[in-house]
Amino acid sequence: MRLVLDTNILIDYAIDRQPFAESAGLLMELGHLRELELWIGTSQVSDLVYVITDGGRAAQAEYAKETMRKLRKILHIYATDEEDYDAVAASAWDDLEDAFVFQTALKVKADAIITRDRKGFAKSPLKTFDCDGLFDWLRTDHGLDYGLVAF
């Protein structure tokens, strides 16, 4: 299953944001094991780095680099291009960061977007789940219960 992650899921994982980090961590583990194909867009990388470094503070740069290396083993990265930029600029989306995530999902032909801000993706025809909702859906609709797996 091909999934695009919203930036808030990346942040939950990267800075151990509670109470969301455990579910985000399980999602990342499944990406690392290639059970799920996880994608982000290049536009999200700078957003993530900005948050991790608390606005670009050099003291956090090494942690940000370490996090980037770790995530690169888990995630596929779609190179946002001029066509995506133009599509977002012409879109009816109010939250442009979400519009870029949606463009990534379209380009990589994602099955769903994983986010904690499902309202932000109300204009998306794609399925949207938070991490727990994804795991519930996988269990009920596909018989995959990752809660039984100890990592």
The predicted model scores a pTM of 0.93
pLDDT tens readout for residues 62-114: 999 999 999 999 999 999 999 999 999 999 999 999 999 999 999 999 999 99
pLDDT tens readout for residues 15-42: 999 999 999 999 999 999 999 999 999 9
Over 70: is that where the pLDDT of 151 sits? no
- Yes or no: is domain 2-148 CATH 3.40.50.1010? yes
Q: What is the CA radius of gyration of the chain?
A: 15
**Which of 131, 129, 124 is CA-nearest to residue 147?**
131
* CA 56 – CA 58 distance, rounded (Å): 6
* CA 15 – CA 28 distance, rounded (Å): 13
